[in-house]
């Protein structure tokens, strides 16, 4: 391991229902971990079809790969029905439950937006520093020392 390189093993799980936005969140998180010295081979990237699938897949992957932390990323955009409310509530509660049950930090990078423009803004389309994937990575980096693992 090179000097200054982190021992952290990170799992990034991205819901890609809005594939372009999910990719932006994932890119923001991945780049932030690389900047912090996490080795490319210690960053596990996985995709799921949507936010509903995040909690179960995060739990499965945590049990299989034993990462030090997870960045759970995705985008929900309010529609004409209350479907959005159910998905947002259960996704967030499920991710919290996984973190508590598995004793692992699960950074919540699931955006709940009123429209596509809000989602694009929070994914860093116009300003990369507003990327919420990057913020999820920052939360993990603040919780875990860089030399853990």
> Catalytic site residues?
83
Q: Which two tokens stand for residue 27?
A: 């890119």
6-61 pLDDT, tens digit each: 889 999 999 999 999 999 999 999 999 999 999 999 999 999 999 999 999 999 99
Structure-token match 């030399």, residue found: 147
Residue extents of the structural domains in the chain: 22-41+54-70+83-143
90-133 pLDDT, tens digit each: 999 999 999 999 999 999 999 999 999 999 999 999 998 899 99
CATH 3.40.50.11710 at 22-41+54-70+83-143, yes or no: no
Q: What is the 3-state secondary structure (H, E, C) of 46-98?
A: EEECCHHHHHHHHHHHHHHHCCCEEEEEEEEECCCCCHHHHHHHHHHHHHHHH
Answer yes or no: are the C-beta atoms of 44 and 11 closer than 8 Å.
yes
């Amino acid at each position: 391991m090179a000097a200054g390189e982190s021992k952290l093993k990170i799992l990034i799980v991205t819901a890609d229902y809005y594939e372009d936005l999910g990719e932006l969140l994932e890119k923001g998180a991945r780049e932030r971990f690389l900047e912090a010295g996490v080795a490319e081979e210690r960053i596990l990237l996985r995709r799921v079809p949507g936010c509903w699938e995040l909690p179960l897949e995060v739990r499965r992957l945590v049990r299989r790969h034993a990462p030090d932390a997870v960045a759970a990323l995705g985008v929900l955009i309010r529609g004409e029905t209350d479907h959005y409310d159910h998905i947002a509530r259960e996704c967030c509660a499920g991710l919290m439950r996984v973190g508590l049950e598995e004793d692992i930090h699960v950074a919540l990078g699931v955006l709940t937006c009123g429209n596509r423009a809000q989602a694009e803004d929070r994914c860093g389309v116009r300003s990369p520093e507003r990327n919420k994937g990057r913020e999820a990575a920052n939360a993990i980096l603040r919780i875990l020392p860089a030399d853990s693992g």
